[in-house]
Amino acid sequence: MTIRALHVASELYPFLKTGGLADVAGALPAALVERGADVRVLLPGFPAVAAGLHDVRPVAQLGRRFDAPGVTLEQGTLPSNGLIVYMIRAATLYDRPGNPYLNDELVPYGDNAQRFALLGWVAAQLAQQLDPAWSPQIVHAHDWHAGLAAYLKAAERQQGRAPARSVFTVHNLAYQGVFPAQQFGQLGLPDDFFSMQGVEFYGQLSFLKAGLYYSDRITTVSPTYAREIQTLAQGGGLDGLLRSRAHDLSGILNGVDYTVWSPANDALLEHRYTATRLAGKLACKEALQKRFGLAQKSDALLFGLVSRLTEQKGLDLLLETVPEIVKRGGQLVVFGTGDPALENDLKRVAQTHPESVAVELGFDEKLAHTIIAGSNVVAVPSRFEPCGLTQLYALAYGSRCRSCIAWADSRTPWWMHRLKISPRISPPGSSSMISRRAA
Ligand code: ADP
Ligand code: GLC
């Protein structure tokens, strides 16, 4: 029997991408189709999605939802492989160019709770025959944006049977979709869902917790991360819940889409190569040095870094090593976008060593491929990495990969700063290990 599964995500390569989530959302459904599953995808109708889909046609009129008028569900196909993609049209919520989560000042949109509640709600409707032609048996949601499997649970309670089984995949527990408790009232969920046995998280509302709590199965993107997120240091305040669900939690290592990421047939590279015909790799390195104005030295060890510039990615650790890299005759190319303070620090270092260090800010798929192919070493100084597709790409491109997972257990876990809570000494495993500090 063919399994019918609906993947629910907020970004998908090649339409819209801020990181590896988009790569997985673009590659996994197609890989499952190849193995005989009947898979479709549900996305918010961001401008890049609406512009990229082919053969778009309406599926259902949904009226006013989450304060957005005239919401409709449409379906189209992914031009590269014909995959069927459902898209939610809600102009007031989604018709915003650029980053899908943040405004121009890099601040999360004030209505993100509604924007992504609509995504979870439509997924649950699709499981209840919203599209008469197709309905999923499995709703597979990715990260907090798709976390409201709670709508499926609410439907199950109403109907006495589950409309579909649910899988929730954690790509990164650091992004939790936490909102003020007052916003719960706008979600249309049963009142008792706002409790510790539900979507409540330290007095707030958490979409990530909703996904972890209400889904039938939880997966994450590597076996190691599946273990790490059950610890206090890496559990983002959800380690207790994850430990209690350990039997439903599996770590499955991400795969690579070799039709996109392979130096032998990479359409974005000027020069191609294989493990046995490496001339192209040298040409990629020379082109990279030229592109970034670095000294044209074929024997200089060239480090490349392509990354979101966030605390997770350990750029500060890399900055500490720059003098040593330069002293030893190495070169460094950094390309990314994110935290303005990190961007400035990186720019400063590049100005100090113009022959050896180049930094460019931005997001560009071609340049990302160019750097991964042209580097001798791809640097991944991440503090933690749930999977890290960049390392896998580096391996495929014969670019040695250096990671430095520099998490110090003795320090206060990152998520405690975020939630303004401090650790205090309690028996291990007790949920009272976390105490709230007045904001
Ligand atoms: P994460 O998902 O945490 O960002 P991964 O290593 O799993 O980390 O995936 C990152 C993906 O985003 C890779 O496809 C990488 O090439 C891409 N990427 C990161 N920064 C940029 C950028 N500035 N321009 C283009 N692609 C980028
Ligand atoms: C996340 C993680 C990254 C992972 C990617 C795809 O953004 O930070 O490690 O590879 O998702 O699953």
Closest Cα to atom 12 of ligand 2: 171
> Is the Cβ atom of 20 under 6 angstroms away from ligand 1?
yes
Q: What is the mean pLDDT of the chain?
A: 91
Q: In angstroms, rounded to a whole number, what is the distance separating the alpha carbons of residues 13 and 401?
A: 23
Cβ 19 under 6 angstroms from ligand 2: yes
Contact 221 CB / ligand 2 (< 6 Å): yes
Query: Does 18 sit in the ligand 1 pocket, CB within 6 Å?
Result: no
- Cβ of 9 less than 6 Å from ligand 2: no
Per-residue pLDDT band for 420 (boundaries 50, 70, 90) equals low
Q: What is the pLDDT of residue 402?
A: 65
Q: Show the tokens assigned to 315.
A: 């750029």
Q: Could you tell me if the CB of 366 is within 6 A of ligand 1?
A: no
Please give the backbone phi and psi of residue 352, each rounded to the nearest 5 degrees, phi first: -70, -30
The pLDDT tens digits for 233-288 are 999 999 999 999 999 999 999 999 999 999 999 999 999 999 999 999 999 999 99
For residue 154, give both structure tokens. Answer: 């609410």
Average pLDDT over residues 174-200: 96
Ligand number nearest to the C-alpha of 171: 2
| Closest atom of ligand 2 to CA, residue 386 | 9
- Ligand 1 pocket test: which of 389, 392, 405 has the largest number of ligand atoms within 8 Å of its C-beta? 389
Structural domains of the chain sorted by starting position, each given as residue range(s) with its CATH number in brackets: 4-251 (3.40.50.2000), 279-438 (3.40.50.2000)
- pLDDT score recorded for residue 356: 97
For position 401, what pLDDT does the model report? 67
Distance from the alpha carbon of residue 18 to the mean position of ligand 1, in angstroms:
7
For residue 255, which ligand has an atom nearest its CA? Answer: 2
CA 239 from chain centre, in angstroms, equals 20
Q: How many residues does the chain have?
A: 439
Looking from the CA of 221 toward its CB, the CA atoms found within 13 Å total 22
| In the predicted structure, residue 414 carries a pLDDT above the cut 90 | no
What mean pLDDT comes out for the span 299-310?
96
- For a ligand 1 pocket test, name from 28, 307, 309, 372 the mutation site with the most ligand atoms within 8 angstroms of its C-beta: 307
**Ligand positioned closest to the Cα atom of 251:** 2
Rounded mean pLDDT of 209-222? 97
Decide whether any atom of ligand 1 lies within 6 Å of the 254 Cβ.
no
Q: How far is ligand 1, taken at its centre, from the CA of residue 390, in Å? A: 7
Nearest ligand to residue 405 Cα: 2
Ligand closest in space to the Cα of 368: 1
For position 406, what pLDDT does the model report? 38
pTM confidence score: 0.92
Q: How far is the CA of 342 from the centre of ligand 1 (A)?
A: 16
pLDDT at 172 over 90: yes
Q: Long-range CB contacts (< 8 A, 24+ apart) of 129-137? A: 130/59, 130/60, 130/73, 131/59, 131/60, 131/73, 131/75, 131/86, 134/4, 134/38, 134/40, 134/84, 135/4, 135/164, 136/4, 136/5, 136/6, 136/40, 136/164, 137/3, 137/4, 137/5, 137/164, 137/165
Q: Is the pLDDT confidence value at 433 over 80? A: no
Pairing, β 421-423 against β 434-436: antiparallel
- Pick the more confident residue, 116 or 426: 116
More confident of the two residues 404 and 204: 204
- Confidence at residue 400, expressed as pLDDT on a 0 to 100 scale: 73
Distance CA 171, CA 217 (A): 14
DSSP letters for 93-161: HH---S-SSB-TTSPBPTTHHHHHHHHHHHHHHHTTTSSTT---SEEEEETGGG--THHHHHHHHHHSS
Check if 389 has its Cβ closer than 6 Å to any atom of ligand 2.
Answer: yes
Q: How many whole angstroms separate alpha carbon 375 and alpha carbon 167?
A: 37
> Is any atom of ligand 2 closer than 6 Å to the C-beta of 251?
no
CA of 293 to the centre of ligand 2 (A): 31
Angle of the 389-396 helix axis to the 365-374 helix axis, nearest 10: 50
Please give the residue that has the higher pLDDT: either 107 or 437. Answer: 107
